[in-house]
Structure 1
């Protein structure tokens, strides 16, 4: 798993653009897994503190119960904002259980607080007639360009 700092160090321009998309709006779309394995989407907020990204939840909310059972998540930046591209991150949400750390980072008490460990970050945008996608996974950063809806051109960035 990768912290936000490690992602930002490995792919600085992509991390900056993804973070800008997530800070452009307050509420985003969080995907978690229900007990039966089917997906659940919920509104959620992301909070950047220092070199980490966090997700909070009201105590015992269904999204928190989902993450405590299976910590895999995907977070889609508010799809209502088109400027800056379409940003998504995915990985694992690790609950912070130290009461002092939770109190320092979270204003709502009692609550759940999760540190986001990334396995993927994706930014999609359009320039002229070209669809562009930058995809990052630990150790691999790639850009795909699809000019005029033609075949994708792949470029390794890191």
Structure 2
């Protein structure tokens, strides 16, 4: 499933982050946890991203909302660090939302392969579809997902509201 979020990326030094995607990843995780009656450590949930700054933001977002014990329930890491491993549920935060400026690491088909093949059961991709479809591989993936009704449009107003303690 692709969650199409019209968000924006933020640059910090040599890396990128996307705070709306981080909030949506947390909201999605909490929703999955609530709908299943609770995800256990055996559920093996991972949130991965190609950017180290986004991984740091995701860790901070999950820690602020769930406390420092969040690591017992969900692993947050970069795609490169997660290579060779898998999880039952993977939430992939693409970060890139600039469109015409390109998609950086996301255009690397090897990284794309690693990111999209880590999930045993469920894969959720959080992305700005207009931005990632500048790449032919991502365009094919988004088109395939649309054909299978697996693209969900997430209004930016919702992403602004989700996340944080008590939500």
Structure 1 length-normalised TM: 0.26
Structure number with higher relative contact order (C-alpha < 8 Å, ≥ 6 residues apart): 2
Structure that is richer in helix per residue: 2
Larger Rg: 1
Structure that is richer in strand per residue: 1
